[in-house]
Chain A
Amino acid sequence: MFDTQKVRLDFPIFSQRINGKENCFLDTAASAQKPLIVLEAMKKAYLETYANVHRGAYFLSEETTSKYEEARKTVQTFVNAASSKEIIFTRNATESINLVASTWGKRFLKANDEVLISEAEHHANLVPWQALRDEVGFTLKIFKIADNGDFSEEAFLKHLTPKTKLVAVTAMSNVLGTIFPIQKICKKAHQVGAKVLVDACQFAVHHQIDVQKLDCDFLAFSGHKTYGPTGIGVLYGKYDLLKEMPPYQFGGDMVDVVTYQNTTYALPPARFEAGTPAIVEAIGLAEALKYMQALGLEKIMQHEQELTTYATQRLSEIGGLVQIGTAPNKGGVFSFILQDIHPQDVAFILNKEGVSVRVGHHCSYPLVKRMGYESVMRASIGLYSTKEDIDTLVKALLKAKTFF
């Protein structure tokens, strides 16, 4: 059994009171809280063995290098990649997607090609493709989702053609919570010769990932959402693809042979990690992923699934509350509006009650608009969330209703 009360003790922030109230944090989809163990690993790395990586022939650098490369192996295990060489450290998932657009995209996408994305994409998996389209001239196609937020295979297949060279799709919507059938999407995409990039930002927080089973070509996620530090993200790419890709940025640590006039580039992953990387953040991320693995991904999933069912039920009991995104297969992200009250007004009262939720378009403006709104509230859960958090949210929402 998953003991949430015990788990919460791993996260010092939950001992902080918010506006004199219990800390009811329901914005994990924006960024997760950090277990102490992550901060301690980072502190230790700075205080005991810190030096730059891949540089010095001395103890501290060798130690740090080995920890940094171990972190890469931890990520490899976490996503079940075939090799740690398929793991590239970036700043965040946004940079991971931009990296693919600027390197693979620029080299391999041509004017007559099509890139296919869903209506449910975060700006990070929409805007880079718009910008690249404006440069290269390919067609950007958007496949529709159902009105309840569900994936529509029919809509997807309608736009998947032999001209499709890339399908870039979220594994779990940050607004609707919908879980997309990535394995199926990859299979269908590969049948027409398209590559698949998966935005796993939300998915990675709650689910076991197996890139080999999914058979995706690229997969991106952010460290700060998976209980790790900010400033570190991951790009997984199949090695055969990575080695054909030009560098992303240029500088130290990504080169093979340099003369004043010419340079040959290192093999992946070094080719894509120019300059001093976020060393300690990578170590912190590895610790966070190990923390999740130690708790057990299966157990985390089960706990959150129960909580999702509970939250959906409790929210449905509030008169005038409309849930946005009710796909049968959804994770712990709940977008909603309350009567005709401005979401910002509701969030103000919630905040006074110690409840942290996000308000607005959640960096997915076209999606929120497509669902019929300008701004919505979003509550989201993490492995430390409890039924009490949901009860507090419901109570605060009922209170908010009395104000307006």
Chain B
Amino acid sequence: MTLEELSDNFELLEDWEDKYRYIIDLGSKLPIFEEKLRTEEWKVQGCSSQVWLVPTVQENKLFFQGDSDAAIVKGLLSIVLMIFSGKTSQEIEKINGETIFTSLGLQENLSPSRRNGLFSMIEKIKYYAKNLKG
């Protein structure tokens, strides 16, 4: 799914309940995350649930896979991957995750103090974009 399609789907959802049911559903559809990757190395710090994020570089592009043990966080993670995965470092650096989440009406998840990890996930992706040759 593209970000545009996601945004269109979101507009059909009337209230927060439908929206979050949909987000949880998105998370449950993420590809299976390999058990051996659930290590400290790939953990995103600063979340009150566990979040893992693993980058790979292919033909100048960064691809990410990830997982979380909390369902809403996993759903938000799937949106993060939709936004950032498959882009070059330069593209990733230019993307303002905050603006996108705000336009999706999900800004309540963005504050660093919420500790649901969205903020930390985006920071981590930006960190990889800066430090991996993509």
Contacts and interface: CB of A to CB of B under 8 A. Distances in A.
A342 B67 CA distance: 14
Nearest to A340: B69
Contacts of A360: 48
Interface in A371-385: 375
Given A344-B116, A345-B70, A404 B24 contact: yes
A403 B24 contact: yes
Nearest to B75: A345
A352 B109 CA distance: 12
B49 interface: yes
A352 B71 CA distance: 16
Contact of B71 (A359, A375, A404): A404
Interface in B64-122: 69-73, 116
A403 B48 contact: no
B71 A342 contact: yes
Interface string A326-353: 0000000000000001101100110010
B133 interface: no
Contacts of A375: 48-49
A352 B16 contact: yes
Contacts of B21: 403
A30 to B, nearest CB: 14
Interface in A122-136: none
A344 B16 contact: no
B85 to A, nearest CB: 24
Contacts of A341: 71
Nearest to B16: A352
Nearest to B117: A344
B10 interface: no
A344 B70 CA distance: 7
Contacts of A349: 20
A345 B72 contact: yes
A348 B73 CA distance: 10
A403 B69 CA distance: 15
Contacts of A348: 20, 72, 116
A6 to B, nearest CB: 34
A348 B68 CA distance: 15
A134 to B, nearest CB: 25
A202 B71 CA distance: 32
B49 A344 contact: yes
Nearest to A399: B17
A345 B48 contact: no
Contacts of B49: 342, 344, 375
Contacts of B24: 403-404
Nearest to B15: A352
A88 to B, nearest CB: 33
A257 B73 CA distance: 60
Given A375-B48, A403-B24, A342 B16 contact: no
Contacts of B70: 342, 344-345
B106 to A, nearest CB: 12
B48 A344 contact: yes
Q: Give the interface centre of A341, A348, A352 by most chain B CB atoms within 10 Å.
A: A348
A345 B16 contact: no
A344 B73 CA distance: 9
A345 B24 CA distance: 10
Contacts of B71: 341-342, 345, 403-404
Nearest to A361: B48
Contacts of A403: 20-21, 24, 71
Given A344-B116, A403-B21, A359 B72 contact: no
Given A360-B48, A375-B48, A342 B69 contact: yes
B48 A359 contact: yes
A96 B116 CA distance: 33
A342 B24 CA distance: 12
B18 to A, nearest CB: 11
A345 B70 CA distance: 6
Contacts of B48: 344, 359-360, 375
Contacts of B72: 344-345, 348
13 contacts: A342-B69, A344-B48, A344-B70, A344-B72, A344-B73, A345-B71, A349-B20, A352-B17, A375-B48, A375-B49, A403-B20, A403-B21, A403-B71
Given A348-B116, A404-B24, 10 more contacts: A342-B49, A344-B72, A344-B116, A345-B72, A348-B72, A349-B20, A360-B48, A375-B48, A375-B49, A403-B20
Interface of B: 16-17, 20-21, 24, 48-49, 69-73, 116
Listed from nearest, the 5 A-B pairs whose CB atoms lie closest are: A342-B70, A344-B70, A345-B71, A344-B49, A345-B70
